[in-house]
Chains A and B, each alone.
Chain A
Amino acid sequence: EVQLVQSGAEVKKPGESLKISCKGSGYSFTSYWIGWVRQMPGKGLEWMGIIYPGDSDTRYSPSFQGQVTISADKSISTAYLQWSSLKASDTAMYYCALVRGPRPHDAFDIWGQGTMVTVSS
């Protein structure tokens, strides 16, 4: 069974750093793009960016470029989303999702369960 399992909820203070994870299983981790999607409380979905774990080719939405870093460690089939300095406005649910085909331009067909990040002083 293809699965994406995300790390648990986080509570952080403004200015702190954070790295959340998304572990893939049941498929060839290096052969499919993985994306990250933000959902702020009570709001819609926002496409943040995608990474190809095979060669770490990464594409960002302009809205998130420079604000977060997407990476992957293919040796442990895990993708990451990290912040160097969190802001209260980063409070949101973050989903990782698997692109359904081998190209970056495709829909997300498998989703992780989400990681809730709360940033509060």
Chain B
Amino acid sequence: IQLTQSPAFLSASVGDRVTITCRASQDISNFLAWYHQKPGKAPNLLIYIASTLQRGVPSRFSGSGSGTEFTLTISSLQPEDFGTYYCQELNDYPRSFGQGTKLEIK
């Protein structure tokens, strides 16, 4: 299964609403997760099963979608949200990730 994220790069201001898209090459139902990675750090799980917020993750993060198209939304961008965001499909082997969306804070 191939995952394609868009955009590859995003620049936004604090307080902006930000949306990242992940498209799957075939129907994966709602079996998708989202991660946030800061430079030099391990990825951090944000959302699983497309829309379930991981414990401890701020409520400004939300996920939606099913089938082949998914979105990650940050409702009000904060300075600590810079970094790279990855989607991951949960449906099949080998486990695959999207290529990443790099988010820069203006």
Instruction: Decide if A and B are genuine partners.
Output: no
